[in-house]
Amino acid sequence: METEVPEEKLREFFNKLTANSGGKLSLDGFLKLNYELYLNRTEKEAKKQFSRLDKDASDSLEFEEVKTLLRENWVLLPERRKELRAQLDKFSDDEYLDMELLSDILTKFGNDPIDEDNVSTFISDLDWNADGRISKDELTIFLLRGHEWDSGERMKSIDKDAVENVDVTIDKKPPMYQRVKEEESSEEDEPPHGQSMDEEEKTPRDGKSPKKEKSKHGKKSPDSDVSSLVELSGNDDDDDDDDDDDDDDDDDKASRAEKTSGDDKATRKAEKEAKKQAKKEAKRAKKEAKKAKKDDLASNKSAEDPDEEEKET
């Protein structure tokens, strides 16, 4: 069975543990190795084993010195995970584990009994949200999904590869599991290379073209203003409609002429605003003149037919 584990896989695991120690396994790295392989020995027992393996007394272990240990325990990992799940299934998702329960799980799951000091170390490392309690999710993440454990420091994150390769059969997804998935989703939401966030906002996700804005700063286009002024002036007779149509034609011609001219944008804008204002004043004056004319007609009629007015009263 030992030959079933490729040496390349064992060496890759060893290289990860020794990435920051020059390719040699320190005592701290060896303690982490015990956690990774679910060898729930006390720190004292782990130090004794480290000394036995360190045959040249260099205070570090090379790959050849731990290769046999890795191979012997690597093949047992699937069975150990299965045993751990069986222990975890005894507790509900909302149940919290105290020192006694945690010690019972680790002792049954591990090779050797685990003392109270080591259980305290486990609790310190597992309690990632610092609420003083260990949940089923926290224990599952630590033992089945990998962890970052270095000289007793609190667990900080989980290994993404371990998340994808290990199936944990619990209904409620752990918060840290969700956090990893959210981080992966946020990477997918980043704009394509070479495209700014502003450009991304301009391009809808459904691929449709964005609706055109009326104009800058929320103002309507010149044509819209002309239409609004026509509505405000009223439709007293057909002559007004004809005048408006002529005005629209004039605006179109002027607009095309302005596009082809090389005048400065600011100048064109000022001219357009002046023309618009003049047109507005002309329409207002025209409307007032019509109203005054109607009032004069009504006044003249009243003066010409006084008898008719008396009859009405």
What is the mean pLDDT of the segment spanning 103-125?
Answer: 64
Q: How confident is the model at residue 60 (pLDDT cuts 50, 70, 90)?
A: very high
User: What is the pLDDT at residue 50?
Assistant: 92
Residue linked to tokens 């699937």? 78
Closest CA to 244 of 232, 269, 226: 226
Q: Does the reported pTM lie above 0.75?
A: no
Contact 97, 136 (CB under 8 A): yes
Q: How far is residue 44's CA from residue 37's CA, in Å, rounded to a whole number?
A: 17
Per-residue pLDDT for 13 more than 80?
A: yes
- Over the stretch 242-259, which tens digit does the pLDDT of each residue have? 555 565 666 666 666 555
| Cα R_g (the chain), whole angstroms | 42
Contact 47, 27 (CB under 8 A): yes
Whole-number average pLDDT of the chain: 64
Per-residue pLDDT for 111 more than 60?
A: no
Per-residue pLDDT for 213 more than 80?
A: no
What is the mean pLDDT of the segment spanning 43-59?
Answer: 89
- Cα angle 190, 193, 194 (rounded to 5 degrees) comes to 120
Q: How confident is the model at residue 290 (pLDDT cuts 50, 70, 90)?
A: confident
Q: How far is residue 162's CA from residue 145's CA, in Å, rounded to a whole number?
A: 5
- Over the stretch 258-279, which tens digit does the pLDDT of each residue have? 555 555 677 777 888 888 888 8
Q: How far is residue 268's CA from residue 273's CA, in Å, rounded to a whole number?
A: 9
- Over the stretch 30-42, which tens digit does the pLDDT of each residue have? 888 887 777 767 7
Q: In percent, how much of the chain has pLDDT > 90? A: 4
Buried-exposed string 112-124: b where 16+ CB fall within 10 A, e elsewhere: eebeeebbebbbe
Per-residue pLDDT for 183 more than 70?
A: no
Q: And the tokens for 145?
A: 């999904």
Per-residue pLDDT for 151 more than 50?
A: no
